[in-house]
Structure 1
Amino acid sequence: MPDVETVVYTNEPGRVLPVLEQELEDFKTEAARFLKGEWDEAQFIGFRLKQGVYGQRQPNVQMIRVKLPFGGVTPEQMEAFAEVAEKYAPLRKGHITTRQNIQFHHIPLLKAAEALFVLGRAGLSTREACGNTVRNVTGDPWAGIQEGEPFDPTPYAAAFARRWLRNPLTQLLPRKFKVAFTANDEDRAITGIHDLGFIPRVRDGVRGFTMVVGGGLSTMPRKAPVLYEFVPVDEYLKVSEAILRIFNRADELRKNRAKARIKFLVDRVGIDEFRRMVEEELEGDWTVGRDFRPDPLLFVHDEEANAPARRPHYQQPNGDHREFTAFVAANVRPQKQQGFSAVEVKVHRGDLRPEQFRGLAAIMREYTGGYARTTIGQNIVLRWVRDESLYEVYSRLKELGLADVGAQTITDVVSCPGTDSCKLGITSSMGLNQAIQERVEAMKITDPLTKQIHIKMSGCPNSCGQHHIATIGFHGAAMKVGEHQLPAYHVFIGGNYDNGELRLAQQLKVRLPAKRGPDAVERFIRLYEAERQPGETFNAFFDRVGPEPFERAIADLCIPGEFTEDNRGMFIDWNRLELYRLQRGEGECAV
Structure 2
Amino acid sequence: DGTRGFNLRVGGGLSSHPRFARALDIFVSPEETPEVIEGVVAMFRDSDENRRKRGKARIKFLVDAMGPEDFRAEVVRRVGRDLRRAAPQQPDMLGHDHIGVTQQADGEHSAVGFCVPVGRLRASQLAELARLAEEYASVPEVRLTHQQNVLLPNIPDERVEELMATELAQQLSPLPTLFTRGMQSCTGKEFCGLAKVYTKERAKEISAFLDEHVTPNGHGEDFRLHFAGCSSSCAQHQIGDIGIEGVLKKVEGEFVEAMDIRIGGRLGPDPRFGEHVIRKVPHWDLNETLLRIFTVYETNHAEGETFRAFAARTPATWWTEQLTPEEVEA
Provide the residue aligned with 1:214 in structure 2. Answer: 11
Deviations 1:66-114 (A, max 9, x none): xxxxxxxxxxxxxxxxxxxxxxxxxxxxxxxxxxxxxxxxxxxxxxxxx
Change (3 A) 1:376 1:390: same
Matching residue of 1:462: 232
Look up the match of 2:61.
264
Alpha carbons 1:363, 1:396 under 8 Å: kept: no
Find the residue that maps to 1:487 and give its secondary structure.
strand
Within 5 Å, which residues of 2 pair with 1:303-322? Answer: none
1:444 CA displacement: 5.6
Superposed displacement of residue 547, structure 1: 1.8
User: Which letter maps to 2:250?
Assistant: K
In the TM superposition, residue 421 of structure 1 has moved relative to its aligned partner by 0.7
Count of residue correspondences: 309
* Residue number among 153, 156, 166 corresponding to 1:383 in the alignment: 153
Residue 95 of structure 2 is matched in structure 1 by none
Structure with larger RCO (C-alpha < 8 A, sep 6+): 1
**From 43, 50, 53, the counterpart of 1:253:** 50
Larger Rg: 1
Residue by residue over 1:139-191, the C-alpha shift from the partner in whole angstroms, topping out at 9 and shown as x without a partner, is: xxxxxxxxxxxxxxxxxxxxxxxxxxxxxxxxxxxxxxxxxxxxxxxxxxxxx
Distance in 1 between the 2:193 and 2:149 partners? 25
Instruction: Assess if the C-alpha contact under 8 Å between 1:397 and 1:403 holds in 2.
Output: no
Residue equivalent to 2:102? 333
Is 1:439 the counterpart of 2:209? The answer is: yes
In the alignment, what sits opposite 1:494? 264
* Equivalent position of 1:138 in the other structure: none
| Gap runs ≥5 in structure 2 | 82-97
| Structure-2 separation of matches of 1:250 and 1:504 | 28
Gaps of 5+ in 1: 1-203, 288-328, 560-591
Q: In the TM superposition, what is the alpha-carbon distance from 1:206 to its structure 2 partner?
A: 4.4
TM-score of the pair, normalised by structure 2: 0.85
- Alignment check: 8 A CA contact 2:100 2:112 kept: yes
TM-score by length of 1: 0.49
SS class of match (2:279):
coil
- Alignment partner, residue 175 of structure 1: none
Q: Match of 2:265, SS?
A: coil
Query: In the aligned structure 1, how far is the partner of 2:32 from the partner of 2:220?
Result: 44
Match of 2:307 among 538, 544, 558: 538
**Partner in structure 2 of residue 476 of structure 1:** 246
Deviations 1:6-60 (A, max 9, x none): xxxxxxxxxxxxxxxxxxxxxxxxxxxxxxxxxxxxxxxxxxxxxxxxxxxxxxx
Alignment CA distance shift 1:249-1:229 (3 Å) = closer
The match for 1:372 among 139, 142, 146 is 142
Deviation at 1:451, TM superposition (A): 4.8
Q: Name the SS for the 1:510 alignment partner.
A: strand
Match of 2:71 in 1: 274
Paired with 2:239 and 2:13, the residues of 1 have a C-alpha distance of 11
Query: What SS does the aligned partner of 1:337 have?
Result: coil
What is the identity, as a one-letter code, of the residue corresponding to 1:262? I
Q: Does 2:18 align with 1:227?
A: no
Shift of the alpha carbon at 1:458? 0.8
Q: What amino acid does structure 1 have at the position aligned with 2:137?
A: T
Q: Structure 2: how far apart are the matches of 1:417 and 1:399?
A: 23
Distance 1:353 1:556, change over 3 A: same
Post-superposition CA distance 1:380-433 (Å, at most 9, x none): 0111222222221111045662226237x4322100001011121111122331
Q: Does 2:219 align with 1:449?
A: yes
Secondary structure at the counterpart of residue 508 of structure 1: strand
Letter in 1 for 2:279: V
